[in-house]
Amino acid sequence: MRARAAVNFPGDLWSQGDDFHAMEWQRAAQLASMHRIALGDALRAIDDGMRAGWARPGTLQATVAPCRPRPVY
């Protein structure tokens, strides 16, 4: 999802993060529906995993990129 967001918004780190989290939310909603659990529980599982240090691909930063005008695509 991060790679797709980078393709969707090249050079715009804030929009990449925003796009990634929109995809993450959609995936959590799909999983919640598939497993018949509340969306909040699915999102909480993601949050709990992040706090517990679950392995994740690549190097992710726990920061937010500044919001700037988008470059022309």
Domain spans, the chain: 2-52
Between 13-35 and 39-52, two packed helices, what is the crossing angle to 10 degrees? Answer: 120
pLDDT score for 7: 95
3-12 residues labelled b (16+ CB within 10 A) or e (exposed):
eebbeebeeb
- Tell me the per-residue pLDDT of 19-67, one tens digit each, with 9 for 90 and over: 999 999 999 999 999 999 999 999 999 889 888 988 776 666 666 677 7
Are the CB atoms for 60 and 50 separated by under 8 Å? no
In this prediction the pTM is 0.71
Q: How far apart are CA 5 and CA 15, in angstroms?
A: 8
